[in-house]
Amino acid sequence: MGARLPLHKLISIGGTSVKEQQRNEIKVGLTVVVGLAILLVGFSTFKDWSVGADEYTIRMRFPVSAGIDVGDQVTVNGVRAGKVDAVDLLNGGVEVHALISSDIVIKENARPIIQMLELMGGKKIDIIQGNDGAALPEDGLLMGRVDPDIAGALGLLGDVQENVRNIGSQADTLLRSINAIVGDRAFVSSLKETVANLHAVSGDLRAYMVRNNRNIDVITVNMVSLTERVDTMLAELQPAVSGALHKSDRVLGNADSLIAEVRGIVGEIRGSRGLLNTVLHDTTFVHRMDTMLRKLDTLSSIIINGEFITNIDLF
């Protein structure tokens, strides 16, 4: 049989192995923790890197940043396409620079939207685009908008709360005014009297309609009959009226022809040099004719009055 070690040496050897095992376990644990930390840091840092892929830059302008930050993802119609490279403050808004993978074509008519990435936080930019439109050049600019998130909804809720408070205040004022009006005994009495008068008028009108219901029916029947007679009379007079209008058209046509002929005759008279033209235009001839006519008028008066006595002796 081999030699046996003393009991105190065995205890010493056992104590040394237990401590060494604890040190090794601590080293292994620290190594695992450090490795996990490096893995997490590397994943969070290099998760957006794409090795060997070309990228190009586009610019997007928004009214506010809405919490978007460098490294946030950019999607095109919901598909991952790139990441945010820079966020610059401008007058009246912000300009976001994004790196887009070269195998994705952004259209000029695309519309970027800042949206929530997750319910508990995070932002992304989703670019909505269709099939039509030319390709956006590198460093091209797109105008975008911001979707309301939980913070925006809470802000809107605050605005709505203020509006509700104002509405409540106005409603309270309105109710006070209504109470003041209703509490006025003179107004209530006048209102009651007006309602009573309206009720009496409506009752009188109803009674009048009942008394004259038959007369109203007769008037209605007469009106219908009169309308039918007027329609019949118009139907009967229509041919005569049409004929009269036709004859009037013919008369007017003949009158136009006559006027044209008279104009022609007048023109011929003015252009001719005959007796009629002399009569119309020679003032001396007209004067002589007037003198002769006066003498003839005097002679005829003498003959008619018996002042002219002939002394001719025929035998």
Q: Where are the chain's structural domains? A: 55-147, 272-308
Q: Rounded to an integer, what distance in angstroms lies between the CA atom of residue 232 and that of residue 243?
A: 18
Instruction: Dump pLDDT digits (tens) for 169-219.
Output: 888 888 888 887 877 788 888 888 899 899 888 888 888 888 888 888 888
Region label for 77, one of left (φ > 0), alpha (ψ between -120 and 50) or beta (otherwise): left
Q: Rounded to an integer, what distance in angstroms lies between the CA atom of residue 3 and that of residue 68?
A: 77
Q: In what order do the strands lie in the sheet with 145-146?
A: 141-143, 55-62, 93-101, 79-90, 73-76, 121-128, 111-118, 145-146
pLDDT at 220 over 80: yes
pLDDT of residue 272: 58
- Pick from 11-20, 31-40, 48-57: least confident: 11-20
pLDDT at 64 over 70: yes
| Structure confidence at residue 311 as a pLDDT band (50, 70, 90) | very low
3-state DSSP call for residue 221? helix
Q: Rounded to an integer, what distance in angstroms lies between the CA atom of residue 53 and that of residue 79?
A: 16
pLDDT at 57 over 80: yes
Please tell me the pTM assigned to this model: 0.37
Burial of 120 (0-12, 13-18, 19+ CB in 10 A): exposed
Average pLDDT value over all residues in the chain:
78
Q: Where is pLDDT greater, at 85 or 51?
A: 85
Q: Which of 94, 40, 46, 52 is nearest to 71 (CA)?
A: 46
